A and B are shown apart, each in its own frame.
Chain A
Amino acid sequence: MNDKDDMLRELYQEVIFDHNRSPRNYRPMTGANRHADGHNPLCGDQLTVYLQVSDGIVHDASFVGHGCAISTASASLMTEAIKGRPLAEVEALFRDFHALLTAARDEPGPQRDFGKLAALAGVREFPARVKCATLAWHTLHNALTGEASTAHTE
């Protein structure tokens, strides 16, 4: 047992395994009016995020693709977290979540209740894996801002 093992347990929490094994909202969406592709060429992670947005609300969110446990779980948790939320809140969540993962060790990080998403905070200790956790979110951001190009985290 060492520090690294503790960090590893922080990274691979049961929530992560659960969402990796059975990702939520894992389906293409026929009625989507926003979607974007994300790609991390370094590890081959690839996903598509679908959204159904109207009246400033994300009514439905889903994704398909393949990737490591961190990126799959992050995408799954993300779809759960944003469903039914106003666009402004989703954008704020994107910013705060990004800050949570990239904050320096001695910084407090954003003050908010991340709910289940907090399970991904352990990624902070694994700089090489931050991109796995943020891929779905960058793709979401592109889908919302209508940037047609593929989101890259490399």
Chain B
Amino acid sequence: MNMHTLQSAPATRPALLQRAADFPILSRPVHGKRLAYLDNGATTQKPDAVIEAERDFYRHSNANIHRGVHWLSQHATELYDTARTSVQGLLNAASADEIVFTRGTTEAINLVAQSWGRPRLTVGDEILVTHMEHHSNIVPWQLLCEQTGAVLKVVPVEINGELDMLAFDGLLGERTRLVAITHVSNALGTVLPVAELTAKAHAAGAVVLVDGAQAVAHTTVDVQAIGCDFYAFSGHKLYGPTGIGALYGRRALLDAMPPWQGGGDMIRTVAFEHTTFAPSPQRFEAGTPNIAGAVGLGAAIEYVRGIGLERIAAHEHALLEQATAALADIRGLRLVGTAANKAGILSFLVDGIHPHDLGTILDSEGVAIRAGHHCAMPLMTRLGIPGTARASFALYNSPADIDALVAAIHKAQRMFGTRGA
């Protein structure tokens, strides 16, 4: 792995991390080439610490939780609870009881839509989202609107990928009950001023949900500083396993919400005449949860906190700057999303080469990127493009990955004859 830049970098550059060795998959070649994994927005690779934690759980600690008087069950329950505390720490929630384990961001948002929204919203109530949301922060609200007669309002996005703040102020009104916004746009990398938006929404009497899927692995998140009511994320984008994620909900809100799925583990007492429910978070975790996944997620959180999210953010920002400069130098390449405040996501288009073709050719060089609409079809429509090619960075990426990306784009241009070289 090419890490020479660390030594030759000017002193003002934040130090680059050298943690690729922690991720076993990164040493496997793809098509005989060194893997440059730049599809971290879709999912991140897993460090040994996470792989081992899941394996250890099944080898040494596996039992069902909350159910057994036997030692193993208590042990598994403790591990599960410890993972919840890790999530609490990651988000700086006031209490671990404010953390509900879910399958991921999507399930967390659906939980809020059905448990918070469905009993409360009525005809003419408004839900405010932005034009740059992922489908999973759009469709659950559309379903809720159909169920309740509420109306979905959309805050427009500027052509550079920033949110139209004036329009946000204008759309926020008396009927706004909920504001559901992404922390970081998965398609463009734009970082939204979530604390400011939350303050405005609260002033208007609305509840705020932040979709943190693209944020938690790349920046420090403090739900109390943001002030939001709900915060959703997925473990698999945070170096953790798939099938596990979490919803943060403010205590007062969670306590007032009915269950959204019924079953074991979420009840206090069950009788055919009347069933009483467990307090949150158990109320929202019906059935045997993804225990090993939660343990893996806990390990992932401890792993990133061990490195330090500030250091990870600085590392990725340095890569973003390098990559932005390198891509801007490529003739015929256009960056899509140039907001002032961006996370490590670069969307782009290359003249005369469809993103899908680009993706195939980059893949032949071991460069893994995403091509398409990134589950943000309304945003692509707004920008007047069918999709983009997207490179997204993680803590294990290096300048060598950017070099590989640039070289592979040149190869595509040579093949398509869209460049003199």
Contact = CB atoms under 8 A, between A and B. Distances in A.
A132 interface: yes
A4 B32 contact: yes
A132 B371 CA distance: 13
Nearest to A1: B32
A117 interface: no
B288 to A, nearest CB: 33
Contacts of B415: 8, 12
Contact-size category for B = 20 to 34
A8 B361 contact: yes
Given A3-B31, A3-B32, A43 B356 contact: yes
Interface stretch (B72-80, B333-341, B372-380): B372-380
A43 B375 CA distance: 11
B354 A8 contact: no
A69 B416 CA distance: 10
A45 B386 contact: yes
B355 interface: yes
Given A43-B371, A45-B386, A68 B364 contact: no
A2 B387 CA distance: 30
A16 B373 CA distance: 24
Nearest to B386: A44
Contact of A43 (B31, B33, B386, B416): B386
Contacts of B356: 43, 45, 68, 70, 129, 132
Interface string B342-377: 000000000001111100110010000001110001
Contact of B372 (A2, A12, A42, A46): A42
Contacts of A67: 354
A113 interface: no
A115 interface: no
A2 B416 contact: no
Interface residues of A, number: 24
A43 to B, nearest CB: 5
Nearest to B353: A69
Nearest to A132: B356
A8 B416 contact: no
A11 B417 CA distance: 15
B355 A43 contact: yes
B386 A2 contact: no
B31 A44 contact: no
B355 A17 contact: no
A5 interface: yes
A2 B32 contact: yes
Contacts of A41: 373, 377
A69 B354 contact: yes
A129 B31 CA distance: 17
28 contacts: A2-B31, A2-B32, A3-B31, A3-B32, A4-B31, A5-B364, A8-B360, A8-B361, A11-B360, A12-B415, A41-B373, A42-B372, A42-B373, A43-B354, A43-B371, A43-B372, A44-B372, A44-B380, A44-B386, A44-B387, A46-B386, A66-B386, A68-B355, A68-B356, A69-B357, A70-B356, A70-B357, A126-B360
Interface of A: 2-5, 7-8, 11-12, 17, 41-46, 66-70, 126, 128-129, 132
Interface of B: 31-33, 353-357, 360-361, 364, 371-373, 377, 380, 386-387, 415-417
Top 8 closest A-B pairs, CB basis?
A44-B386, A68-B354, A4-B31, A68-B356, A2-B32, A4-B364, A43-B356, A44-B387
